[in-house]
Structure 1
Amino acid sequence: MKYRNIFDTHTHSVNSFDGHHSCKQLCDGIIKNNGIGIAITDHCDIDGMKDDCWSFQDKQFNEVLEAKAEFQQITVLNGVELGQGLFEKELSEKFLSAYDFDFVLGSVHNLKNMEDFYFLDYKQYDIYSLLQQYFNALLDLVKWNQTDSLAHLTYPLRYIVAREKIDVDMSRFNDIIEEIFDTVIKNEKAIELNVSGLSMDMNDTLPNKKYIKKFHDMGGKYVTVGSDSHYFDKVCNNIDKGYDILKECGFDSFTVFEKRQPKLITIE
Structure 2
Amino acid sequence: MVTDGHNHTKHFSVDAGQTIDELISQARSKGFSRIGITEHYEVFFPDDGLDWTFDLEEYDKAFEEWRVKAAPDLELLKGIEFGYQPHVAKEIDRIAGLIPLDVVLLSVHLFRGKDFYADRECYKMPAKELHTEYMAMMAEMCENCENYDVAAHYDYINRYTDKLSDFVTYDECPKEFDRFFEAIISKEKALEINTKSIQKHKERGFTRHLPDAAILNRYRDMGGKMICLGSDSHFDGTFAVCFDEATEYLKSLGFTETVYFKDRKPYFESL
TM-score (norm 2): 0.85
Counterpart in the other structure of 2:57: 58
* Equivalence for 1:198: 198
Contact 1:47–1:87 (8 Å) recurs in 2: no
The CA deviation at 1:257 is 0.4
State the superposition RMSD in angstroms.
2.4
Matched with 2:160 is: 159
Relative to structure 1, is the Cα distance of residues 151 and 176 closer, same or farther in structure 2, using a 3 angstrom cutoff?
A: same
CA contact (8 A) 1:45 1:85 kept: no
Contact residue 195 and residue 204 of structure 1 kept, 8 A? no
**Matched position secondary structure for 2:39:** strand
- How much does 1:10 deviate? 0.9
Matched, 1:245 2:249: yes
Shift of 1:193: 0.6
Change (3 A) 1:128 1:198: closer
Offset of 1:38 from its aligned partner? Answer: 0.7
Distance in 2 of aligned mates of 1:169 and 1:41: 24
1:93 Cα deviation after fit: 2.1
Matched, 1:32 2:29: yes
Which residues of 2 match residues 1-268 of structure 1 at below 5 A? Answer: 5-14=1-10, 15-48=12-45, 55-72=54-71, 73-84=73-84, 86-122=86-122, 124-125=124-125, 127-143=127-143, 144-160=145-161, 163-165=162-164, 167=166, 170=169, 171-200=171-200, 201=204, 202=206, 204-205=209-210, 207-267=211-271
CA displacement, residues 210-243 of structure 1 (integer Å, 9 cap, x when unaligned): 3122212222110110111112322122112221
CA offsets 1:53-91 (integer angstroms, 9 cap, x no match): 664433333332211122121120001111115431232
The question of whether the paired residues in 2 share the 8 Å contact of 1:7 and 1:236 is answered with no
CA contact (8 A) 2:8 2:234 kept: yes
**Residue by residue, what CA displacement relative to the aligned partner does 1:163-217 show, whole Å, maximum 9, x if unpaired?**
2336468423111101211221121111001111232223624x43331222122
CA, structure 1 residues 189+123, in 2 after alignment: closer, same or farther (shift >3 Å)? closer
Query: 1:216/1:124 Cα in 2 relative to 1: closer, same or farther (>3 Å)?
Result: closer
Any unmatched runs of 5+ in structure 1?
none
Query: In 2, are the aligned partners of 1:10 and 1:229 still within 8 Å (CA)?
Result: yes
Specify the code of the residue in structure 2 equivalent to 1:204: H
Counterpart amino acid of residue 230 in structure 1? H
**Alpha-carbon distance in structure 2 between the residues aligned to 1:58 and 1:214:** 40
Shift of 1:154: 1.6
**For 1:1-58, what per-residue CA distance to the aligned partner results, in whole angstroms no more than 9, with x for missing partners?**
xxxx1421111110212211122321121001111111001111223189x6664433
> 1:82–1:121: structure 2 CA closer, same or farther, 3 Å change rule?
same
CA distance in 1, matches of 2:6, 2:62: 16
Tell me, in whole angstroms, the C-alpha distance in 2 between the residues paired with 1:112 and 1:70. 41
Closer, same or farther: CA 218–237 of 1 in aligned 2, 3 Å = same
C-alpha separation in 2, matches of 1:39 and 1:226: 9
Q: Is the 8 A contact 1:81 1:105 kept in 2?
A: yes
Q: How many residues align?
A: 259
Deviation at 1:124, TM superposition (A): 5.0
Query: What is the aligned-residue identity percentage?
Result: 22
Relative distance call for 1:89 and 1:6 in structure 2 (3 A) is closer
Aligned-partner SS, 2:87: helix
- Alpha carbons 1:21, 1:231 under 8 Å: kept: yes
1:147: how far off?
1.6
> Which runs of 5 or more residues in structure 2 are unaligned?
none
